[in-house]
Amino acid sequence: MHKSRLVSLLLLSLVLSLLLSGCEQQNSHEVNVYSARKEALIKPALDRFQTETGIKVNLVTGNADALIERLKAEGVASPADVLITVDAGRLHRAKSLQLTQAVDSEQLQTLIPAAYRDPEGHWFGLSLRARPIMYAKDRVNPADLSTYADLADETWRGRVCIRSSSNIYNQSLVASMVASDGVDAVEQWAAGLVKNFARKPVGGDRDQIKALAAGVCDVAVANTYYLFGMLSSENDAEVKAAEQVQVFWPNQQGRGTHVNISGIALTQSAKNPDNAVQLMEFLLNEESQSWYANVNGEYPIRDNTVVHPTLAGWGQFKKDAINLAELGKLGPEAVKIMDRVEWP
Ligand SMILES: [Fe+2]
């Protein structure tokens, strides 16, 4: 090789390594977050982390499935260090697509009950969301309610509101039933449930609660934070509607009410893994936990953390103890069942 060419190559590599170390230095004070939560529901906690640690948080907010697609498209070049999203089914999907990596943190393992984190450490719950039955106070005696399975009984013919089967909340709920009762029993149940629909599924959970209040149906299945949101709404009509609705905790004699999580995962492409893990642990501290759960109307993931008075008013309940990773695995089976029974 010509000497001057060698010198310029050496110079080039020197410049490159200087540039890279410059990047590393800069990166060491940053963490890049892809979040599917509304900004108001997460940013204040991230701001607090930034203030307390000096690690700059760059937040990208987007639709959950779109963010997963984006991570996939960006591959190893993705700037994202962590993904924050809802539903274990989605976190499981991100893991299956090899978009996440394992974190070995004693703190996370100690603070988060085993059911609410991936057994291989690929994702961790940040908050807990319950999906119980809700009923119209003036038309339903709660003594007539018992389990999700019972909603397929003909007593409830034309009286049930629930959103479409394309929604991951229902897919995870049905997956939890498959885990407990098996495919055949759940298919029979789902067929009965569809017969009991008051109307073709339309809208989100909040719309089911509104339909319940409006007399379209007598019982509904919905996540409690939607009811919380309506009760604390500035819109009087929403508050009035929510006040006609009560929470019933199903399956209390058996496996417990279906719960899911919002959670966080370290991305496969993470350039700032140490900062990312520090952020994860920060979001599990007591202050973050009670703030995050309260602002979302969810339950803290940690045991023995005080819940919002509205949630306390709905009472304590037995939660299904299944590891949520199982729901991710059974999700596709649940979708097939719902398709077979023509749950729209
Ligand atoms: Fe939701």
Give tens-digit pLDDT for 46-58: 999 999 999 999 9
CA of residue 20 to ligand 1 center, whole Å: 41
Gap from CA of 16 to ligand 1 centroid (Å): 46
Q: What is the predicted pLDDT for the residue at 293? A: 87
How many angstroms is it from 14 CA to the middle of ligand 1?
Answer: 51
Q: How far is the CA of 221 from the centre of ligand 1 (A)?
A: 13
What is the 41 CA–ligand 1 centroid distance (Å)?
12
Q: In this predicted structure, what is the pLDDT of residue 303?
A: 82
pLDDT band of 24, cuts 50, 70, 90: very low
> What is the Å distance from ligand 1's center to 213 Cα?
19
The SS3 call for residue 194 is helix
Please tell me the distance between residue 192's alpha carbon and the centre of ligand 1 in angstroms: 25
User: pLDDT class for 22, splitting at 50, 70, 90?
Assistant: very low
Q: How far is the CA of 169 from the centre of ligand 1 (A)?
A: 8
pLDDT of residue 305: 80
The CA dihedral of 86, 92, 95, 101, to the nearest 10 degrees, is 70
Q: How far apart are CA 150 and CA 126, in angstroms?
A: 31
Between 22 and 202, the more confident residue is 202
Averaged pLDDT for residues 244-248: 98
pLDDT band at 306 (very low <50, low <70, confident <90, very high): confident
Ligand 1 centroid, distance to 28 Cα (angstroms): 34
Q: For residue 14, what pLDDT band results from cuts at 50, 70 and 90?
A: low
| Share of residues in the chain with pLDDT > 70 (%) | 92
**Length, in residues, of the chain:** 344
Rounded to the nearest angstrom, the distance between the alpha carbon of 64 and the centre of ligand 1 is 11
Residue 13's identity, in one-letter code, is S
- 3 state SS of 59: strand
Confidence of residue 10 (pLDDT cuts 50, 70, 90): low
Rounded to the nearest angstrom, the distance between the alpha carbon of 86 and the centre of ligand 1 is 8
What pLDDT is attached to residue 249?
Answer: 98
Please give the pLDDT value at position 105: 97
C-alpha–C-alpha distance, residues 166 and 197, integer Å: 16
Amino acid letter, 247: V
CA of 24 relative to ligand 1 center, distance in Å: 37
Percent with pLDDT over 90 in the chain? 88
Average pLDDT, the chain: 93
How far apart CA 177 and CA 187 sit, in angstroms, is 10
Average pLDDT of the segment spanning 240-246 = 98
- What is the structure's pLDDT at 28? 73
Give the whole-angstrom CA distance, residue 217 versus residue 226.
Answer: 17
Q: Distance (Å, rounded) from C-alpha 283 to C-alpha 24?
A: 24
DSSP conformation letters of 75-126: GGG---SEEEEE-HHHHHHHHHTT-EE----HHHHHHS-GGGB-TTSS-EEE
Q: What is the pLDDT of residues 134-184, one digit of tens each?
A: 999 999 999 999 999 999 999 999 999 999 999 999 999 999 999 999 999
Instruction: Tell me how far the alpha carbon of residue 22 lies from the centroid of ligand 1, in angstroms.
Output: 41
- Report the separation in Å between the CA atom of 60 and the middle of ligand 1, taken as the mean of its atom positions: 19
| Centroid of ligand 1 to alpha carbon of 13 (angstroms) | 50
Query: pTM of the full predicted structure?
Result: 0.87
Please tell me the distance between residue 196's alpha carbon and the centre of ligand 1 in angstroms: 24
Query: What is the average per-residue pLDDT within 304-328?
Result: 92
83-115, pLDDT tens digit by residue?
Answer: 999 999 899 999 999 999 999 999 999 999 999
**By three-state DSSP, how is residue 61 classified?**
strand
- How many whole angstroms from 89 Cα to the centroid of ligand 1? 13
C-alpha to C-alpha distance for 35 and 136, rounded to whole angstroms: 35
Half-sphere exposure of 154 (CA within 13 A, CB side): 0
Cα of 38 vs centre of ligand 1, distance in Å, is 11
Average pLDDT over residues 330-341: 97
Helices 64-74 and 88-96 cross at an angle (nearest 10°) of 10
Cα 132 to ligand 1 centroid, rounded to whole Å: 13
Distance 12 CA to ligand 1 centre (A): 51
Band (25; pLDDT cuts 50, 70, 90) = very low
Instruction: Tell me, in angstroms, the distance from the centre of ligand 1 to residue 40's CA.
Output: 14
Statement: residue 118 has pLDDT above 50:
yes
CA of 255 from ligand 1 middle (Å) equals: 23
Strand extents, DSSP E, the chain:
30-35, 56-61, 82-86, 100-101, 124-130, 133-136, 160-161, 219-221, 245-248, 259-267, 299-300
